[in-house]
Amino acid sequence: MRYGFFDTDADEYVIDRPDVPVSWTNYLGTKNMCTVLSHHGGGYSYYKSSQYGRISRFRQNGVPLDRPGHYVYLRDDADGDYWSASWQPVGKPFVEPGEEPDAAAGPGAKGRWTTRHGMGYTRFRSEYRGIDTEQTVFIPLDDDVEVWDVRVTNTSDRVRELTVASYVEFSFHTITIDNQNLQMSLYASGSSYADGIIEYDFYYEPWTFHYVASSETPSSYDSLRDNFIGPYRTETNPVAVERGAGSNQSATTQNHCGSLQHKVVLQPGETKRLVYLLGYGSRDEAGRAMQAKYSDVASAEPPALPAVDLEFQRLRDYWHAKQDKLRIRTPHEGMNTMINSWTLLQAETCVVWSRFASFVEVGGRNGLGYRDTAQDVMSVIHSNPTKTRQRILELLRAQTEQGYGLHLFDPKAFDPDAEQLPDVPSPTIVPTPNVADLIHGLEDTCSDDHLWLVPSVVEYVKETGDLAFLDLEVPFAQGTPATVYEHLRRALEFSAEQVGPNGVALGLRADWNDCLNLGGGETSLVTFLHAWAIRAFLEICEHRRAAGDASASEDVERWTAELDRIRGVADAELWDGRWWIRGYTRDGVKIGSAANDEGKIFLEHQAWPVIAGITSQERGEASMDSVRELLGSEYGSHLNWPAFTKVDDTVGFVTRVYPGIKENAAIFSHPNAWPIIAEALLGRGDEAVQFYDSILPFNQNDNIEVRGAEPYAYVQFLYGRDHEWFGKAQNPWLTGTAGWMYTAVTKYVLGVRLALDGLVVDPSIPADWDGFDVRREWRGAVYEIEVRNPEHVSHGVASVTVDGVAHEPGTPIPAAPAGSTVNVVVTLG
Ligand code: GLC
């Protein structure tokens, strides 16, 4: 069953059947303000922090499931019938595409509803009783305001008198207070109306305001939620909409909302454009300016609002510019659509907004997860170098002198330049943390967090060419300064020290798998990640040594020796015959071995010996074959098999999770990207793309009765085969899967990756592909790369030309001067 389709040319996903059983969301905002918005207009906004900067309210896990939202209501003043621009919250009948309106139900009683989720905007459209309404919601690049561009067209042959109303429910800015401490939230916030602007204020905190404004003087308003909705009603049938007039009341107490009502008269064929604004800031400092800016009318017919149009176009250009940094054209339609738009958007969303604001993570936590952010940044350096740099610096500041990272931290706590707001003592006492108290000890340290950062920094340097970044001084969490290079070395040293009796990394609190809590047991995953991080660091050390840096020579020796040690341990201890064991419990019992009854094989570490370059082709292939055979499925690879059913705390919390859910034998999406990379490095392009396809959301577009979640976003996990909901997808958007899938396809399947001194093209593709093209911007130059595959091989470069001149295959193509275009032709064979 399908509910929509990909409009690839427009970079949009179009939902043309609105009754999707779950919310399909989008993320709006690029800088300070973010909105998570469902295909029904449900969702919420926040300013900078989803924990402290809430603007609009969301009743998480509510019934119905995505209320309230950012709604536009329409009312036909001739007969009082009303509906909403998005199908919900009024929820009038609808028809499917191709279906005829139901004449028996009255002319035009049914309507069409479509939602288009685009990159940074969502557009709702309703065609109901001769009134065609579009509500385009977006957050401009440089204004802290959400714009609703509403166009109402009379497609009937008679004059129509309508009332159009906005509605958004404000939230107390601190989400925990909004959820749990109503004796604060109800009495410490107020609303007022003046000059067409509703302002929501916090009297005790006179620097926090939100507002709702519109492009035309409203005929009435509501700023008290309960006045707008009315007793024993919901957003489905608000009394103010039914009445066609707001109550024109505000107060310095209770729950607040932003509803502005407008009377609109439309001649047949006429279109009216109205703008609603939901913004951060006060009426005087922001509201009036934004009202003036976005009300500027250039012409009435056709209705032109230059500022709205310009800002919308700027937003489109912003995303196009990011997409243009790397565009692919392959014979694989799903890969093209997802990589060129959706997977990039999802990966950027994780970096810009982190992981705590969705409909599942509802914003009650703040900050950055060390391992998640350290991985996420790696994939979007080309499209967002500024944010990547900021995030890397935040991670470096939250790294301890000992080398490990603070697992979950608020970057502001370690940022000497963070904005300091006046400290108003509030009756809700929240102890002020001391920075030293934020630095956790070994008992709360994850064995992997810091390791992801090393290759991310190296990738950042490769992308930008900014070798001086390695010499930048950045303090550790304790405050002592060190160069970035030293930070990386400490990360490697920490892991070199934290080694158990078998020579394998200690598990500590957890590794990538939050539910594998080995403590003094050992984790092969971290040993492999350590090798991978060392190899990345060695690229830097070797480069510095070549430039005459003597201390870099010592590092080359030191880390080459450590890499050899790890290779030896892996060979001697960690190979189980057909795959790699997952580690040892603190009692020395193997985990993830054929000898185990449960959890015989795990997914997340199998690819890393190949990626780290510490194993043979034979073992690499055997481990990938085992993954496919024992963990693979039509919805992706399971995290482990068989599922755990017996509690064993020496293995960890994973043994207390229902079989088939999350870390216990579900299809956990994130590590599904790694076998793609391993297969590509092994030269098995068909197998790489087979792994990619098995979990590609695009491929599930017509299988929504099973998948449930949106087919344009990766989810955290899908229920595994031990669960009766096998294949159902949960927790969309905020997952490291997006970044890793982007990396796996672009750098390994298509093989366009960077060395410190050049660009490498080394594809591993399905043998039946005739070739593909990539447009890659790198350090200001454009590389138009054409890969030809006349012999129908998967791997192996026979020849390369650069601007028509033969180039030695396997050697990096040097960076061209900024502004130039380089034509690269790679022939496989
Ligand atoms: C969640 C966490 C991530 C962890 C994964 C597996 O997605 O955010 O850090 O690696 O679960 O446990």
Give the DSSP letter of residue 690.
Answer: H
Q: CB within 8 A of 583, min separation 6: which ones? A: 504, 507, 516, 518, 521, 522, 523, 524, 525, 590, 591, 592
Which protein residue's CA is at the shortest distance from atom 6 of ligand 1?
513
Contact indicator for 298, 305 with CB cutoff of 8 Å: yes
The 3-state secondary structure of 604-658, one letter per residue: CCCCHHHHCCCCCHHHHHHHHHHHHHHHCCECECCCEECCCCCCCCCCCHHHHCC
d(CA 289, CA 461): 41
Catalytic residue among 415, 444, 514, 686: 514
Q: H-type helices in 439-512, by residue range? A: 449-464, 484-497
Nearest to 346 by CA among 379, 370, 391: 379
Tell me what pLDDT residue 110 has. Answer: 72
Ligand 1 atom at minimal distance to the Cα of residue 513: 12
Average pLDDT of the segment spanning 538-565: 96
Evaluate if residue 109 carries a pLDDT over 80.
no
Which protein residue's CA is at the shortest distance from atom 10 of ligand 1?
512
Q: Give me the phi and psi of 37, to 5 degrees please.
A: -130, 130
Contact indicator for 228, 247 with CB cutoff of 8 Å: yes
Q: How far is the CA of 65 from the centre of ligand 1 (A)?
A: 25
Average pLDDT of the segment spanning 376-399: 98
Q: Mutation test of ligand 1: which of 355, 360, 453, 512 has the most ligand atoms closer than 8 Å to its C-beta?
A: 512
572-583 residue pLDDT tens: 999 999 999 999
Q: How far is the CA of 365 from the centre of ligand 1 (A)?
A: 15
Evaluate if residue 105 carries a pLDDT over 70.
no
SS3 assignment, position 71: strand
Tell me what pLDDT residue 96 has. Answer: 65
Tell me what pLDDT residue 102 has. Answer: 65
Q: How far is the CA of 736 from the centre of ligand 1 (A)?
A: 8
Ligand 1 atom at minimal distance to the Cα of residue 663: 12
Here the tokens at position 595 are 């000898």
How many other C-beta atoms lie within 10 A of the C-beta of residue 69?
26
Tell me what pLDDT residue 298 has. Answer: 75
Tell me what pLDDT residue 101 has. Answer: 60
293-311 residue pLDDT tens: 999 877 667 778 899 999 9
Tell me what pLDDT residue 418 has. Answer: 87
Domain ranges of the chain: 11-320, 325-330+347-362+372-429+441-748, 750-828
Q: How far is the CA of 513 from the centre of ligand 1 (A)?
A: 6
Evaluate if residue 106 carries a pLDDT over 60.
no
Contact indicator for 28, 37 with CB cutoff of 8 Å: yes
Any idea which residue has 């300016």 for tokens? 289
CATH architecture classification, 750-828: Sandwich (2.60)
DSSP secondary structure string, 313-345? HHHHHHHHHHHHTEEEE-S-HHHHHIIIIIHHH
Nearest to 212 by CA among 253, 151, 257: 257
Tell me what pLDDT residue 660 has. Answer: 98
Ligand 1 atom at minimal distance to the Cα of residue 514: 12
644-671 residue pLDDT tens: 999 999 999 999 999 999 999 999 999 9
CA 652 to centroid of chain Cα atoms: 28
Average pLDDT of the segment spanning 486-502: 98
Q: Residues lining ligand 1, judged by CB closer than 6 Å? A: 369, 371-372, 512-515, 663, 716
Q: Which amino acid is it at 114?
A: T
Q: Is 296 a catalytic residue?
A: no
Q: Mutation test of ligand 1: which of 351, 371, 372 has the most ligand atoms closer than 8 Å to its C-beta?
A: 372
CA 271 to centroid of chain Cα atoms: 36
Give the DSSP letter of residue 510.
Answer: -
How many other C-beta atoms lie within 10 A of the C-beta of residue 117?
27
Ligand 1 atom at minimal distance to the Cα of residue 512: 10
CA distances from 577 to 94, 193, 580, 581, 610 (A): 58, 73, 8, 9, 16
How many other C-beta atoms lie within 10 A of the C-beta of residue 662?
20
Tell me what pLDDT residue 91 has. Answer: 93
Ligand 1 atom at minimal distance to the Cα of residue 371: 9
Ligand 1 atom at minimal distance to the Cα of residue 735: 7
Q: How far is the CA of 822 from the centre of ligand 1 (A)?
A: 40
- Of 99-108, 249-258, 392-401, 662-671, which gets the smallest average pLDDT? 99-108
Here the tokens at position 766 are 């399905």
Q: How far is the CA of 740 from the centre of ligand 1 (A)?
A: 13
Q: How far is the CA of 496 from the centre of ligand 1 (A)?
A: 23
What whole-number percentage of the chain has pLDDT above 90?
92
Q: Mutation test of ligand 1: which of 514, 517, 672 has the most ligand atoms closer than 8 Å to its C-beta?
A: 514
Give the DSSP letter of residue 680.
Answer: H
Residue 177: left (phi > 0), alpha (psi -120 to 50), or beta?
alpha
Burial class (CB in 10 A: 0-12, 13-18, 19+), 703: middle
Average pLDDT of the segment spanning 217-222: 98
Q: How far is the CA of 670 from the centre of ligand 1 (A)?
A: 8
Burial class (CB in 10 A: 0-12, 13-18, 19+), 64: middle
SS3 assignment, position 807: strand
Average pLDDT of the segment spanning 199-215: 96
Contact indicator for 277, 294 with CB cutoff of 8 Å: yes
83-104 residue pLDDT tens: 999 999 999 988 766 676 666 6
Mean pLDDT of the chain: 96
Ligand 1 atom at minimal distance to the Cα of residue 372: 9
Pairing of strands 473-475, 715-718: unpaired
CA angle, 375 then 378 then 382, to 5°? 155
Nearest to 783 by CA among 330, 411, 447, 326: 326
Ligand 1 atom at minimal distance to the Cα of residue 716: 7
Evaluate if residue 778 carries a pLDDT over 80.
yes
Tell me what pLDDT residue 793 has. Answer: 98
DSSP secondary structure string, 116-145? EE-SSEEEEEEEETTEEEEEEEE--SSSSE
d(CA 787, CA 764): 11
Tell me what pLDDT residue 95 has. Answer: 75
End-to-end Cα separation, the chain, in angstroms: 42
0.95 surpassed by pTM: yes
Contact indicator for 492, 561 with CB cutoff of 8 Å: no
d(CA 473, CA 480): 10
327-364 residue pLDDT tens: 999 999 999 999 999 999 999 999 999 999 999 998 87
Q: Give me the phi and psi of 91, to 5 degrees please.
A: 70, 45
Nearest to 694 by CA among 170, 416, 251, 334: 334
CATH architecture classification, 325-330+347-362+372-429+441-748: Alpha/alpha barrel (1.50)
Which protein residue's CA is at the shortest distance from atom 11 of ligand 1?
514
Q: What sign results for the dihedral spanned by CA atoms 462, 466, 468, 469? A: negative
Which protein residue's CA is at the shortest distance from atom 8 of ligand 1?
372
Q: How far is the CA of 403 from the centre of ligand 1 (A)?
A: 21
312-321 residue pLDDT tens: 999 999 999 9
563-608 residue pLDDT tens: 999 999 999 999 999 999 999 999 999 999 999 999 999 999 999 9
Q: How far is the CA of 512 from the centre of ligand 1 (A)?
A: 6
Query: Residue 52 — very low, low, confident or very high, per pLDDT cuts 50/70/90?
Result: very high
Indicate the helix (H) or strand (E) that contains 533: helix 524-546
Give the DSSP letter of residue 520.
Answer: E
CA torsion angle 608 613 619 623 (round to 10): 20
Evaluate if residue 220 carries a pLDDT over 70.
yes
Nearest to 171 by CA among 196, 156, 154, 188: 188
Query: Residue 386 — very low, low, confident or very high, per pLDDT cuts 50/70/90?
Result: very high
Nearest to 753 by CA among 324, 321, 326, 319: 326
- Of 213-227, 292-306, 528-542, which gets the smallest average pLDDT? 292-306
Q: How far is the CA of 765 from the centre of ligand 1 (A)?
A: 29
Which CATH number is correct for 11-320, 2.130.10.10, 2.70.98.40, 2.60.40.1840, 1.10.274.10? 2.70.98.40
Ligand 1 atom at minimal distance to the Cα of residue 369: 9
CA 171 to centroid of chain Cα atoms: 24
